[in-house]
Each structure stands twice: as structure tokens, then as C-alpha cells.
Amino acid sequence: MKISRFDFFPLRDLMMAGTQQSVELKLALDQEQQKSKKLEESMKKLDEEMKRTDELLYQMIPKLVADRLRKGENPVDTCQVSQYVQTNNRIADIQSA
């Protein structure tokens, strides 16, 4: 059985296609790793801004009210609870005096 060099062309083509596919996969992996790194950086910045926003919010309104608003409660209801808490605190202050 004689093997000609033309018999190796399909094998060579398969090897080259595999190498090309490997290079493309490596490039895709590198791109996804870069995107992941950018996403992590963005998430870190978002966390920092959320903390800053919380600090500012808590300076303007009581934490209890802010937390209830974040949970989606009706703003009017949160004001009523805040007034109730303040009234109870005043009554307790008067009774202890």
C-alpha cells in the first residue's frame, strides 16, 4: 500500500483548523476575562456609591423610615409610624419627669 503526500492534506487541514479554533477560543477567553474585570470594578464603584448614598440619606431622614421606604412601603405610612414613635418617646419623657 502506497501512501501519497496528497493523503496527508486532509490531516494537515484538520490540524490547522484545530489550531485556528484554539487561537480563537483563547482570544474569546481573554476578552471575557477583561469584561469580567471591568464588571468587578463597576460593582465595586457601585457599592461605594450605595454606601455614600445611604450615609447621605440617613443624615436627612431616620434610618427606620429610609429602610421602610426602600422596602416599598407607602411614604405616608412611614411618616405616621415616625410620628407615632416620636409621640411615644415624648410621652415616656413626660412620665419619667
Residues 51 and 72 in one domain: no
Residues 8 and 48 in one domain: yes
Q: Is the pLDDT of residue 92 over 90?
A: no
For the chain, the domain total comes to 2
| pLDDT for res 62 | 87
| pLDDT for res 55 | 92
Residues 17 and 55 in one domain: yes
Q: Cell 409610624, residue?
A: 81
- Residue 77's Cβ-side half-sphere holds a number of Cα atoms within 13 Å equal to 8
Residues 87 and 56 in one domain: no
The domain of 79 spans 61-97
Cell of 6: 496528497
User: Do 62 and 79 contact (CB within 8 A), yes or no?
Assistant: no
Residues 33 and 66 in one domain: no
pLDDT tens by residue, 29-65: 999 999 999 999 999 999 999 999 999 989 998 888 8
Measured at the alpha carbon of residue 71, what is the angle toward residues 42 and 57, in degrees to the nearest 5? 65
Residues 86 and 52 in one domain: no
| pLDDT for res 96 | 62
| CA–CA distance, 90 with 97 (Å, rounded to integer) | 11
Residues 52 and 20 in one domain: yes
